[in-house]
Amino acid sequence: MALWVDKYRPKELLGKDGVDYHLEQASHLKFLAADCMPHLLFCGPSGAGKKTRIKCLLRELYGVGVDKTQLIMKSFTTPTNRKLEIQTVSSNYHVEMTPSDVGIYDRVVVQDIVKEMAQTSQIETSSQKPFKVVVLCEADSLTRDAQHGLRRTMEKYANNCKIILCCESLSRIIEPLQSRCIIINVPAPSDDKMRAVINKIIEAEKIQIPSNILQKIIEKSEGNLRRAILTIEALKMENESGISANAQIPTAEWEIYIQETARMILMKQTPDMILKVRERLYEVISRLIPTTVIFKKLLEFLLPSCPPAIVREVVSEAAKFEHRLILGQKPIFHFEGFISSFMDIYLSNASKSK
Amino acid sequence: MNCYESDLLTTELAPKRRDELHIHNKKLEEKNHIDTISFNPVADTLMKKAMGRASRLLRSSLSETKLKMIGETANGDLRIAMNMIQTNSAGPDVSRRPGSKIIFASKANREDAFHMIGRILYAKRVNPNIPQPKGHFIKKRKSAPAPEPTERTDLEHDPTEIIAMSSMSSEKLTGFLFENEHAFCSDIKKYRQVIEALSFCDVLTGDWSSARTFPDEYASQVATRSVMWHNFNEIRPKTLYAISPFAMKNLERQMTITRNDVRRLPMVGDKHFSSLTAPYQTIIENIIDPRRIEMFISRPMDLSWNKGKDRIEEQMVNLQTLPFLGRKKPQIKKKNVVQVNNCKGKTDEESEEEKFTIEDSSDDSFDSFDES
């Protein structure tokens, strides 16, 4: 049983089964596929359709054979004789992988994969493209060494191998890599576009959703189409006898948990409360929620209850500790630093207003 | 397998001629379908035998208490144990060394580590209110303890000397200080400054480009001096405070197990699987098997991580089966399922935490430790 996000994913760039929004960009991609294709860099927020466009582009390049993929667990050996394993999705024409799974050894993995792909050129160059494609997901998690190693590899094997990078933020891609790729910016769809996509899925699945529930789901998704579709499918499963106008929108339990944690922080500001909050943050971290996502959610739940006078200072402290969160290795230190700073600022403002 | 416990392997790995070694290994692997040979740490009884035998071969053998302490410190590593035996047997005054005093060659002593952490957290300072005892007068017992000074005086022990008490790394020291600082600092302003310093130390040791610039002791110094500066004029825990180890170590071990299970799923490049796809997929596909990693990730929030994966799965099975009693087919579990008291009682019993106890520093126990 496939999820709706995979079942109703577009399979072509244009046409009947084509993508639903950013049609002008889709025609640009179709033109790029017909012409000699450069290296590409897809960037955009989560849930905007970057992976979908990459799959449609590959299908445009190589035909339906690109969908016949297989999972391969590749092994590598680092210069320090440490064995690494990474999962890749491969077809006859392309390889797709996430190099950040191997941590700081992603330089070895990226270079070996590209060299392996570039060693063999295509046999039938008349009926097919003369190159192969390597798709690197989560390219903004690559280390600086891997990105610097990749720029030389891209130039060296440019005839046999094209690289497609997929990332969420351009700021973590180094400038030499950006200048060697054509940047395809995939922005998040607007609310009208999301409503159109969701209405198409609703008609195909023959379910009835009240318009206020649909509007609430679209607002809650914040431009993330994957989240919107998953929410509607979960809503249908939870309300088998039909969706009423005051149905409860399903939310991930860790978000409710973080919201309660923020409420605890606002109630009482003592080191004992910090200890309780710490235990709760351990629970959320243990479920492999990304720490930057936790930090963002925590700040989102704290800011509406802040007095306006201290919002600037709170956001400044949040930015400082989130930066340290990325640099350091123990996220709980920086969470606790932000929470204690927030408590101190909040308490000072409360005592000042009395 | 352990090479001490397998007679077959012991016999086969002792060839008579050198050129037979490879033939025996190849034949052995083919015959027994051996893919991997792994070595466990040396067991305690075997370690005791080895150390006793090595000690008896020396000119003056070590005592039983010394060997016991060396065995505990080596923790299954025979090379460390042999190095410590040799270190303690060298020198001119070997036989006149006290029974429980040994030289630790490679690893930090446990007691020294906790004395160090206790000394940092208590941050005792010189108290000028205590009168100096005269030579000719009998010291009378005071009716009340001397009041603490209201302004900062000199520390009783220098931070550099405290850090030198143990060879604990900066990363571990900041973890211990982070875990226990909340009990020694009741003011939120001071606590904020201390945690900010510890956060800065994590950046120093975590970011590899700055970790190679500064020496490792730099972060220890920053953390120690910040804690000892701000732990002043505070209500201290009095008797037998239990120093907790850093919980993040166990959490990292648990997360590694979970992360490896996620990587076995047939997907590539789903960064937000844990935060977005897994919770909704559990609802959509009605996953009730706790061994599925989607269900494990999106389990109820009151099933704590520190129970371990097997116990969590067992409790999830209990949670799932109870609402289904008397029903033909399982239905979707509601969010507000009432917790059974028996299960909650079991939860309280199973939550055991490992803690270490040190004495209150007002009893002068550290001074007596130095004198011995």
pLDDT digits (tens, 9 = 90+) for B20-41: 455 556 666 666 766 666 777 7
Name the residue with higher pLDDT: A251 or B198. B198
Task: Supply the pLDDT for residue A127.
Answer: 64
Contact check, Cβ <8 Å, B186/A344: no
**% pLDDT > 90, chain B:** 4
In angstroms, the Cα distances linking B341 to A123, A136, A323, B288 are: 69, 50, 44, 22
Give the separation between CA B211 and CA B284, rounded to whole angstroms: 46
Contact check, Cβ <8 Å, A282/B305: yes
> Per-residue confidence at A341, pLDDT binned at 50, 70, 90?
very high
Separation of first and last alpha carbons in chain A: 60
Task: Supply the pLDDT for residue B198.
Answer: 92
- Residue A36's identity, in one-letter code, is C
Give the separation between CA B198 and CA B192, rounded to whole angstroms: 10
Contacting residues of A for B186, CB less than 8 Å apart: 270-271
Contact check, Cβ <8 Å, B268/A87: yes
pLDDT at position B104 over 60: no
Residue from A166, A258, A333 to probe the interface with B (highest B Cβ count within 10 Å)? A333
Structural contact between residues B303 and B337, judged by C-beta atoms closer than 8 angstroms = no
Task: Supply the pLDDT for residue A75.
Answer: 84
Task: Supply the pLDDT for residue A299.
Answer: 93
Q: Which architecture characterizes domain A253-353 according to CATH?
A: Up-down Bundle (1.20)
Lowest mean pLDDT among A72-81, A137-146, B71-80: B71-80
pLDDT at position B361 over 50: no
Nearest to A271 among B188, B255, B284 (CB): B188
Of A226, A207, A240, A276, residue with least CA distance to A9: A226
Give the separation between CA B223 and CA B221, rounded to whole angstroms: 6
Phi-psi region of B58 (alpha: psi -120 to 50; beta: other; left: phi over 0): beta
> Per-residue confidence at A338, pLDDT binned at 50, 70, 90?
very high
Cα angle, residue B139 at apex, residues B135 and B141 outer, rounded to 5°: 165
Q: At what angle do helices B170-180 and A331-353 cross, to 10 degrees?
A: 40
Contact check, Cβ <8 Å, A271/B279: no
Task: Supply the pLDDT for residue B208.
Answer: 61
Task: Supply the pLDDT for residue A257.
Answer: 92
> Per-residue confidence at A42, pLDDT binned at 50, 70, 90?
very high
Contact residues for A25 (Cβ-Cβ < 8 A; gap 6+): A53, A184, A186
Q: What is the pLDDT averaged over residues A238-243?
A: 76
Burial class (CB in 10 A: 0-12, 13-18, 19+), A197: buried
**% pLDDT > 90, chain A:** 22
Give the model confidence (pLDDT) of B205-251 as tens digits: 877 677 767 787 789 889 998 998 888 877 667 555 777 778 877 78
Q: What is the pLDDT averaged over residues A293-307?
A: 90
pLDDT at position A290 over 60: yes
Task: Work out the number of other CB atoms within 10 angstroms of the CB of residue A225.
Answer: 23
Collapsing DSSP states into helix, strand and coil, what is residue A56?
Answer: helix
Contact check, Cβ <8 Å, B248/A275: no
Name the residue of chain B whose CA is nearest to A291's CA.
Answer: B275
Name the residue of chain B whose CA is nearest to A85's CA.
Answer: B263
Task: Supply the pLDDT for residue B304.
Answer: 83
Give the model confidence (pLDDT) of A253-273 as tens digits: 798 899 889 989 998 888 888
pLDDT at position A97 over 50: yes
pLDDT at position B3 over 80: no
> Per-residue confidence at A45, pLDDT binned at 50, 70, 90?
very high
B200 Cα to chain A: minimum distance (Å): 8
Q: What is the pLDDT averaged over residues A199-224?
A: 86
Phi-psi region of B270 (alpha: psi -120 to 50; beta: other; left: phi over 0): beta
Task: Supply the pLDDT for residue B333.
Answer: 44
Annotated domain spans of chain A: 4-185, 191-238, 253-353
pLDDT at position B282 over 70: yes
pLDDT at position B60 over 80: no
Contacting residues of A for B297, CB less than 8 Å apart: 287-288
Return the top range by mean pLDDT from A27-41, A237-251, B98-112, B229-243.
A27-41
Return the top range by mean pLDDT from A110-119, A300-309, B55-64.
A300-309
pLDDT at position B167 over 80: no
Q: What is the pLDDT averaged over residues B276-291?
A: 80
Task: Supply the pLDDT for residue B91.
Answer: 64
A4-185 under CATH 3.40.50.300, yes or no? yes
Lowest mean pLDDT among A134-138, A160-164, B208-212: B208-212
Six token digits for residue B360: 């209150």
Name the residue of chain B whose CA is nearest to A330's CA.
Answer: B202
Contact residues for A53 (Cβ-Cβ < 8 A; gap 6+): A13, A19, A25, A26, A29, A42, A184, A186
- Look up tokens 């960037």; give the residue: A43
Give the separation between CA B328 and CA B339, rounded to whole angstroms: 22
pLDDT at position B353 over 80: no
Lowest mean pLDDT among A63-67, A193-197, B281-285, B366-370: B366-370
DSSP state for residue B18 in the 8-state scheme:
T
Task: Supply the pLDDT for residue B341.
Answer: 38
Task: Work out the number of other CB atoms within 10 angstroms of the CB of residue B35.
Answer: 6
CA A196 to centroid of chain Cα atoms: 22
**% pLDDT > 70, chain B:** 61
- Residue A264's identity, in one-letter code, is M
In angstroms, the Cα distances linking A349 to A264, A269, B27 are: 18, 12, 77
Q: What is the pLDDT averaged over residues A180-205?
A: 89
